[in-house]
Structure 1
Amino acid sequence: MLIYNPKDWWKLIFYFHKADTFRKLLPAMLGVMAYTAFISYLENDIFHFLPLKNPLAIHSLVGFVLSLLLVFRTNSSYDRWWEGRKIWGGFTNNSRNLALKLSAILPEGHDSKEIFRVLIGNYIHAVKDHLRGNVNHKHLEYIANYDEAFYVNYKHTPNRIGQAIYLEINRLYKSGVINAEQLLILNNELSSFTDNLGACERIRNTPIPSSYNIFIKKMIFLYVFTMPFGFVLEFKHWAAPIVTLIFYAFAGIEMIAEEIEDPFGTDNNDLQLDSIVKNVKGNLVEIFRS
C-alpha cells in the first residue's frame, strides 16, 4: 500500500509511480491519440464533411450512462476494500483481546503464554499469506509440539493453527488451569478468528460478476473509438488530445476499481497487511512478556 499525504496536492498531481494508471495506460493513450488524429485528418483534409447534425448529442447521452456505471463499479470495489480493512481491524482487536485475557488468566511465568504468543502471531501471518496464495510453513515460528511436522499435509494452514490454539485451550481446561467461565470468555475471541477469515475468503473468492465487468470494458471501447467521428467536426485537430483525456479518465477509473476489488494483494492500493501483521506480533510480545 502506498503511504502518502492527501493534503499535498502538487506532489500528488505530478507524482508517478510504477503502478500509476497513467503509466499503465500510456501506450493505449498514444494509440487513441494516433487513431483520433487519423480520423481528424480524414474528415478535415480528405472528406471535408460528414453528414451529421449535432454530432455530440449521442455521446453526451451515452457518456452520462457510462459515468453512472463507472460510479457504481467504483463504489462496489471500494466497499470490498473497506470491508476488508474492517475485517483486518477485527483481526487486530481479537488478537489483542485474546492475548490480554490469556495473560491475565494464566499464572505468572506459565509456559503456555509463550506458546499462545507464537500461535496467535502465526495465525495472523498465515491468514495474510493464505489470502495472497503463497503460504509457506517456513515463515512460521515453531514452538513445543507445533513444529514443521505439525503443518505438513495441511493445505489450509490458518485452520491448522486455529486447531492448535483450541487444543492448547482445551488442555489448559482439562488440567484445571482455566475454569468453565473463563473458557466461555475466551470462546468469543476464538470464534471471531474463523469468522473473520471466512469473511476475507468470501471477498477474495467472489469477484465482481464477469458479465458486468466485460460490459463496462466494451462500452468504454465503443464510446472512445466512435467519439472521434463526432468530436473532429466540433473541435477539429484538438479532438485528439480531448478524446485521449476522456479515455484516460474512463479507463483509469475502471483500472482503479479492478485493483481495489481484491484488497489483500501486494498492489500499491491494497491493504497494508504486512504492517498490520508486524504490529500485531509486536503487541503480542508486549502483552505476554509484561
Structure 2
Amino acid sequence: MISYNPKEWFSFIFNFHRGDTFRKLLGAMIGIGLYSGGVAYLELEYWKLSSGSHVKNITIMHSMLGFVISLLLVFRTNTAYDRWWEGRKIWGSLVNNSRNLALKMAVMLDDKDDKDFFKKMIPAYASVLNLHLKREAISHELFDTNEISKDHYKHKPNQIAKTMMQKINKLYLEKKISGDQLIVLNSEIQSFTEICGACERIKNTPIPYSYSAFIKKFIFMYVLTLPFGYVFQLGYYVIPVVVFIFYVLASLELIAEEIEDPFGNDPNDLPTQKIAENIKKNVEELIY
C-alpha cells in the first residue's frame, strides 16, 4: 500500500508512481488520440462536412448518456471501495483478536513451553493467512515448530487453527486450564476462522462479469463516438479533449478493478504483510 501525505498537492499532480493510472493507460491514450485525429481529418479535410451536418447532433446522445455513465462509475467505485474497506476492518479484527488471545495465554499459562507455542502460532496464523489470500507458496519452515504436520494441506490457515485448538484441548485435559477458560479460548480460535472465511468471501466473489464487461464496453463506445460530434466545435482540439475524457473514465474503472480485491500485491492493496508483522511484534511483547 502506498503511504502518502494528503496535504502535499504538488506531489500528487506532478509525480507518477507505479500505481498511477496514467502509466497504465498511456498506450491506450495515444491510440485514442490518433483515432480522434483521424476522425477530425476525415470530417474536416476529406469529407468536408459543414456545421449543418446531422453528424453534429450526435452530441445530444453524449449529453443524455453522460449522466448514465457517471451513475454507473460512481456505483462501481463505491462498490469496490466498500470491499476494500471491509477487508481493512476484517484485518483490524484479526489484530485485536490476536492481541486478546495473546493476553489470555500470557495470563492463563505458567509453563514456558506452552507460552512459546502460542507465541509462535498466533502470529503465524496472520502470516499464513496473508500468503493464503495472495495464493503464494507457504513453506513449512515458516512455522518454526514441529507441532505442524509437513503434509501438504490445501488450507494452511485451517491447519494452524486446528493445531491451536488441539493444544488448548490438551491443556484442558492436563488440567492446566479450567473448563471456563476452555470456553473463552474456544471463542477466540473460532473468531480466527470467521475472519479467514470473511476474507475468502471477498477474494473469491468478484464483481459479476456481465456488469464489469458492460461498463468497459459502455466507456469504449462512448469515447469512440465523441470525436464525430465535437469536431465541429473544437476542430483538431478534439484530440486532447477526447484523450482527457478517456483518461478520466478509464482511470475510474481501473481504480475500481484494483481495489475490489484488496488482498493482492497491487500498489493500493491492503498492507497485509505489514499488519502480520505488527501482530508478531505485539504477541512477542505480550507473551514472554
Q: TM-score, normalised by structure 1?
A: 0.95
Q: Which residue of 2 aligns with 1:43?
A: 43
State the shift of 1:90 in Å: 0.6
Counterpart position of 2:24:
24
Q: Is the 8 A contact 1:264 1:273 kept in 2?
A: yes
The separation in 2 between residues aligned to 1:233 and 1:138, in whole angstroms, is 67
- The alignment-based identity, stated in percent, is 50
Measure how far apart 1:186 and its partner are: 1.4
Does the 8 A contact of 2:84 with 2:260 survive in 1?
yes
Q: 2:116 aligns with which of 106, 114, 117?
A: 114
Aligned counterparts of 1:164 and 1:55: Cα–Cα separation in 2: 66
1:6, CA displacement in angstroms? 1.1
> SS of the counterpart of 2:287?
helix
Aligned to 2:104: 101
Aligned to 1:273: 272
Calculate the aligned-residue CA RMSD, in Å: 1.2
Matching residue's letter, 2:180: E
**Number of aligned positions between the proteins:** 285
Partners of 2:198 and 2:235 lie apart in 1 by 53
**Residue 204 of structure 1 aligns with which residue?**
203
2:136, 2:27 → 1: CA distance? Answer: 32
Measured against aligned partners, the alpha-carbon deviations of 1:104-143 in whole angstroms (never above 9, x if no partner) come to: 1112x53111100111111111100000001322451322
* Partners of 1:25 and 1:248 within 8 A in 2: yes
User: Are residues 139 and 261 of structure 1, via their aligned partners in 2, closer, same or farther at CA, if it must alter by over 3 Å?
Assistant: farther
Q: Answer whether contact 2:55 2:228 (CA < 8 A) is retained.
A: no
Q: Greater shift after overlay, 201-210 or 232-241?
A: 232-241
Which ranges in structure 2 are unaligned for 5 or more consecutive residues?
A: none
Equivalent position SS for 2:195 = helix
Deviates more, 1:9-18 or 1:238-247: 9-18
1:254 maps to: 253
Matches of 1:138 and 1:184, distance apart in 2 = 30
Amino acid at match of 2:48: H
Counterpart of 1:85 (choices 79, 83, 88) is 88
The residue aligned with 1:12 is 12
> Post-superposition shift, 1:230?
0.5
Q: Distance in 2 between matches of 1:139 and 1:20?
A: 36
The CA distance in 2 between the partners of 1:51 and 1:136, in whole Å, is: 63
Q: Which runs of 5+ in 1 are unaligned?
A: none
1:224-263 equivalent positions in 2, closer than 5 A: 224-263=223-262
Contact 2:56 2:232 (C-alpha < 8 Å) held by counterparts: no
Residue 288 (structure 2) pairs with residue 286 (structure 1): no
The letter for the 1-side match of 2:119 is: R
Displacement of 1:59: 0.5
SS at structure 1 position matched to 2:175: coil
- TM-score, normalised to structure 2, is 0.96
Partner of 2:180: 181
Q: Select 2:136's aligned residue among 134, 137, 140.
A: 134
Runs of 4+ in 1 over 2 A off after TM superposition: 50-55
SS in 2 for 1:52: helix
Cα contact 1:36–1:239 (8 A) shared by 2? yes
In the other structure, the counterpart of 2:77 is: 74
Amino acid at match of 2:237: W
Contact map agreement 2:56 2:228 (CA 8 A) in 1: no
What is the deviation of 1:51?
2.5
